[in-house]
Amino acid sequence: MRTQEALFWETQTARGVVLNDVQRQAVVNTGGALLLLASPGSGKTTTIIMKIGYLLAVKGLLPARIKAVTFSRAAADEMKARFNRFFPTLPLADFSTIHSLAYEVVREYFRKNKRAYQLIEGGQPYDKRQLLRELFKSETNENITEDQMDELTTYISFIKNKLVAPVKWATIDCSVPAAAEIMKRYEAFKSASNPLLLDYDDMLLYANEAFEQDADLLARYQRLYDYVLTDESQDTSLVQHTIIEKLVRSHGNLCVVADDDQSIYSWRGAEPSYLLQFKQAYPDAAILFMEQNYRSSPEIVETANAFIKRNKHRYNKNMFTRNQPHKPIVIRNLADYRAQTNYLLDAIKALDPACKTAVLYRNNSSSIGLINELDRAGIPFYIKDEDKRFFSHWVVKDILNFMRLTYTDKRVDIFEQVFAKMNGYITKQQMEAVKRINNNESVFDNLRQYGSLQGYQFKQVQECQETIQRMKGAAPLAAICTIRHKLGYEKALERMCERLGFRKDNLLGILDTLEDVAVGLKSMADFAHRLQALERVTKAAKNRKDCAVTLSTFHSAKGLEFDRVYMIDLVEGVIPSHSDVEQKLRGQSEAMEEAVRLFYVAMTRAKTHLELLTYNKREQDAVAESQFVSAVRTIISPPAALATGGKLAKKRKTPATYDPNAIRQSNQLAVGMAVHHYSFGRGRIVALTADNVEIKFAGTVKTLSLDVCLANGFLAPA
């Protein structure tokens, strides 16, 4: 007589579901804790579904006693749908997000304690962002920008998910002025309100508190579930891990499915280090490595596997595939940004169909110029995550307001929006004086007559007025260039970045994108209309269902796959960002390692065709190829001295030096510093990146590996 287990596997085989040895071990391991490390394309979801089916059909667990926690509601819904397809006759297990579980716990906890509460997110009458807006205004006497609001809410969420103590809030990096004080007032206001006000992250904190403070409530929830699974656990925060730990403490039956190499959300509190310390929390846990990739060609898998080994803080996995060889990864170094766009258009036009193709980029700002050209070319596209803020961004509004001033410089309301962002050095008090004048004359004339200008200001204001007058009727591209450089808008942005902590690359990227949109347009009115049309097109593309090329950020592409993938804007300053590089130079490697993981995630979306696109110029500025592209090029075509039988040979170790004054930390180096190299002698540092140091020795510039120089003590102060 066949056992229930034998029948289960026979049924799955008949349905065409065949698991490899590691997947099968993961399914049948149902006692105690299990960490399942699943490489990209390794059949993670199929394995989870099979495991739940096994628990129901073979182990006889009741469906309500299996808790499957997913990262998002969409993931939970997808998991349910796939379970129903695999096991149409079995009842569903309890699938939910961690937030819905927390809300259930909090609701019961507050009901027991007779405490009233109200949510302030998700369309509730009292709005979290409005409250923060009021607190920011009260604290700084300024209006918060959308960029600052996004950073402030991320900061607050990060602190709560990391369980950071209030005394350390001010130590968490945030460029928003008075962020820690605003958060302190925000939390105090919510706590003092009746009913108590809660945001989404508060539900996690109060659920954790409930489990800590109410032993009976914790015991009841522990008795509810015989087995708990968590998916995408590399994206789970410390407070979320803590809730799950308490939930399974009585029986320890937990399956954590994750990939530390795909942890890309540390900025919102994800805790990938938890996975590396899994054995500390669960000493008897089993750890399984699902390393076989079923998605991609060997050329992509082997290169991505070698690339991710740049990171040091990870499990030593070796992703492999038995798929048939296809074609090498393509690296294209194009002349400039517009050449990249033109190449993409030609490549996409040649595809039939284009619906299995994706164009991936790190920042949403990369999408607008591409959307503009795809729309002009009549190429259908789907946007995974539209850049909702671009068209309403204050930089875009500033440029349009400068253009409006060329039609009339009598509009005080328009001038007030931009007066501080040009070369006139006009003060707020002078602007207030002009606002009190209502004579329908030029704001510049009124400034000279009523603004109490200082001597040096008269010439500056005169030049600004003449520049705006000359702009009248200019083509929009020329107008934007004039605004950026002649009127001093770009320098004003740089000063704002220094004062308020805005990200300079992001703001200048918006200006670059506006210039791309302006190309070929004849009038500023045409430019304004084009932006409006692009906003409509972008919104429509979010809901497109027909066959179309997909546009997505690296982050949002996670979990997806495509036949062809084009990764674009692969230049230093974008991926990795300047901030990533600077932090590594200060000896902080976390941001750079996450950038490596992000690049790896994007690479592994491709099945058979992967192209990496970089360029040498953006507008008039030279840019450098991303060091990640250089690394991939070296992996694909290693130097002859390193190549042996088609595989990378080990580098010959250079004997270490023993100079007691040797420089061992990257933060001890700086551009312009004089150094002594053990072999090349005295030189001066002319450039630093996260990987290399460029030193000028007697007229010759040498590019040296930073890690090698530091590890071996090759450099010392001159």
Q: Three-state SS for 408?
A: coil
pLDDT higher than 70, residue 81: yes
Nearest to 102 by CA among 205, 225, 207: 207
With beta carbons less than 8 A apart as the criterion, state whether 66 and 94 touch. Answer: yes
pLDDT higher than 50, residue 682: yes
pLDDT in tens, 347-372: 998 887 778 999 999 988 788 888 99
How high is the pLDDT of residue 387? 67
Structure tokens at 462: 């005169």
Q: Regarding beta strands 357-361 and 286-290, do their DSSP bridges make them parallel or antiparallel, or are they unpaired? A: unpaired
How high is the pLDDT of residue 652? 38
How high is the pLDDT of residue 641? 46
For the segment 435-444, the average pLDDT, to the nearest whole number, is: 84
Cα separation, 498 vs 491, in Å, equals: 11
Instruction: Domain ranges for the chain, please list them.
Output: 4-101+205-292, 117-193, 308-380+546-645, 394-528, 666-717
For the segment 610-638, the average pLDDT, to the nearest whole number, is: 88
Cα separation, 523 vs 99, in Å, equals: 50
Cα separation, 261 vs 39, in Å, equals: 8
Percent of the chain predicted with pLDDT > 90: 45
Among 199-208, 297-306, 428-437, 561-570, name the one with the lowest average pLDDT. 428-437
How high is the pLDDT of residue 706? 83
Nearest to 96 by CA among 224, 196, 262, 270: 224
How high is the pLDDT of residue 647? 46
Neighbours of 556 (CB within 10 A): 15
With beta carbons less than 8 A apart as the criterion, state whether 147 and 502 touch. Answer: yes
pLDDT higher than 70, residue 660: no
Domain topology for 308-380+546-645: Rossmann fold (3.40.50)
Among 75-79, 99-103, 282-286, 315-319, name the one with the lowest average pLDDT. 75-79
Cα separation, 503 vs 287, in Å, equals: 41
With beta carbons less than 8 A apart as the criterion, state whether 33 and 284 touch. Answer: yes
pLDDT in tens, 107-146: 999 999 999 999 998 767 778 999 999 999 999 888 888 8
640 CA to centre of own chain: 36
How high is the pLDDT of residue 659? 60
How high is the pLDDT of residue 499? 76
Q: Which residues contact 130 (CB under 8 A, 6 or more apart)?
A: none
Nearest to 353 by CA among 581, 564, 507, 511: 564
pLDDT higher than 80, residue 73: yes
How high is the pLDDT of residue 368? 87
Q: What is the 3-state secondary structure (H, E, C) of 209-262?
A: HHHHHCHHHHHHHHHHCCEEEECCHHHCEHHHHHHHHHHCCCCCCEEEEECHHH
With beta carbons less than 8 A apart as the criterion, state whether 83 and 93 touch. Answer: yes
Neighbours of 679 (CB within 10 A): 9
Percent of the chain predicted with pLDDT > 70: 95
- Give, as one character, the DSSP assignment of residue 270: B
Nearest to 235 by CA among 350, 66, 69, 92: 69
Order of strands, edge to edge, in the sheet holding 681-688? 700-705, 692-697, 681-688, 674-677, 715-717
Cα separation, 631 vs 443, in Å, equals: 55
Cα separation, 78 vs 72, in Å, equals: 10
**DSSP labels, 300-342:** HHHHHHHHHTT-SSS-----B--SPP--PPEEEEESSHHHHHH
pLDDT higher than 60, residue 651: no
pLDDT higher than 80, residue 713: no
CA 451-452-453 angle, 5° bins = 90
How high is the pLDDT of residue 640? 56
How high is the pLDDT of residue 700? 74
The CATH code of the domain at 4-101+205-292 is 3.40.50.300
Does residue 435 or residue 700 have the better pLDDT?
435
Structure tokens at 540: 């429509």
Cα separation, 596 vs 261, in Å, equals: 9
The CATH code of the domain at 117-193 is 1.10.10
pLDDT higher than 80, residue 4: yes
What residues are paired with 683 via a beta bridge?
Answer: 675
Does residue 564 or residue 442 have the better pLDDT?
564
The mean of the pLDDT values for the chain is 87
For the segment 241-248, the average pLDDT, to the nearest whole number, is: 93
Radius of gyration of the chain (CA): 29
How high is the pLDDT of residue 223? 93
Task: For the full predicted model, state whether its pTM sits above 0.85.
Answer: no
Cα separation, 290 vs 286, in Å, equals: 13
Cα separation, 394 vs 528, in Å, equals: 15
Cα separation, 543 vs 537, in Å, equals: 10
The two domains 4-101+205-292 and 308-380+546-645 share their CATH topology (first three levels equal): yes
Cα separation, 449 vs 200, in Å, equals: 54
Instruction: Say if domain 666-717 classifies as CATH 3.30.70.890.
Output: no
How high is the pLDDT of residue 533? 92
**Band of pLDDT at residue 648, cut at 50, 70 and 90:** very low
For the segment 464-478, the average pLDDT, to the nearest whole number, is: 89
pLDDT higher than 90, residue 208: yes
pLDDT in tens, 140-170: 888 888 878 888 999 999 999 999 999 999 9
pLDDT higher than 90, residue 554: yes
Instruction: Say if domain 394-528 classifies as CATH 1.10.486.
Output: yes
Structure tokens at 3: 């056992």
650 CA to centre of own chain: 34
Q: Three-state SS for 114?
A: coil
- What backbone phi and psi angles, to 5 degrees, belong to 352? -150, 105
**CA 417 vs CA 314, 484, 583: distances in Å:** 49, 16, 35
Structure tokens at 658: 């023993």
**Residue 609: HSE in the Cβ half-sphere, 13 Å Cα cutoff:** 13
Among 324-338, 452-466, 586-600, name the one with the lowest average pLDDT. 452-466
**CA 144 vs CA 148, 427, 438: distances in Å:** 6, 20, 29
Nearest to 160 by CA among 274, 96, 237, 217: 237
**DSSP labels, 570-627:** -BTBBTTBHHHHHHHHTT--HHHHHHHHHHHHHHTTEEEEEEEEEESEETTEE--B-H
Does residue 506 or residue 56 have the better pLDDT?
56
Cα separation, 453 vs 600, in Å, equals: 56
pLDDT higher than 50, residue 625: yes
Does residue 56 or residue 71 have the better pLDDT?
56
